[in-house]
Structure 1
Amino acid sequence: MISASQIAEHMEVIAADGIHVGTVDHMDGESRIKLTKNNSDDGRHHLIPIDWVARVDAHVHLTKNSDEVRSQWSSFN
């Protein structure tokens, strides 16, 4: 199981299909990752649940492909 303490600011987030989907801004509590809006295609913050994380090394690797991530994440300014 992935712990919030394994995820650090500025880590690259990579979908299961190898596509970059964002950069960690910070953890939003213990269960959600807030992505930066700086490198977001739509200029908005996005939240993804930690349950989507497959593993963490130098990057955060997700279990969902990039299309699934983008269609299911929460978005806000």
Structure 2
Amino acid sequence: MSDVRAIQEHMEVIGADGVHVGTVDKVEGNRIKLTRKDSAVEIEGATGSHAGHHHYVSIGLVAGVEGDKVRLSATAANAVEIFEEEA
């Protein structure tokens, strides 16, 4: 896992396949909160409804921080499948 202290607001979150997953709103504990505007993201292979609320990605999925991008160890479709949703 990469140094999560390098994760900043407005960084792009991408899957291991380079596909856009979301945009960082902020880091909350051991999760990355994605901006609401990315909550309706359409990713090929993903299922379910993700519109209208914030989603969270586990810090444990972070493979690295590269410039202004947070790269995950999972593909975008897999990451979307395991989003944690806002309560």
| TM-score (ref. length: structure 1) | 0.88
The match for 2:12 is 12
Q: CA deviation at 1:71?
A: 0.8
Percent identical: 43
Q: Which structure's CA Rg is the greater one?
A: 2
Q: CA deviation at 1:38?
A: 1.6
Q: What per-residue deviation string (whole Å, max 9, x for no partner) do you get for residues 18-67 of structure 1? A: 110100000002x1110011222112211111110111022000000111
Question: Greater strand percent: which structure?
Answer: 1
The answer to whether the 8 Å contact 1:2/1:50 transfers is no
Q: CA deviation at 1:3?
A: 2.7
| TM-score (ref. length: structure 2) | 0.79
Alignment match of 2:61 (pick from 52, 59, 66): 52
RMSD: 1.3
The answer to whether the 8 Å contact 1:52/1:63 transfers is yes
AA aligned to 1:32 is R
In 1: Cα distance, 2:65 partner to 2:12 partner: 10
Return 5+ residue gaps in structure 1 as ranges: none
Secondary structure at the counterpart of residue 38 of structure 1? helix
In 2: Cα distance, 1:3 partner to 1:28 partner: 15
Flag as ranges the 4+ runs of structure 1 deviating above 4 A.
none
The match for 2:38 is 39
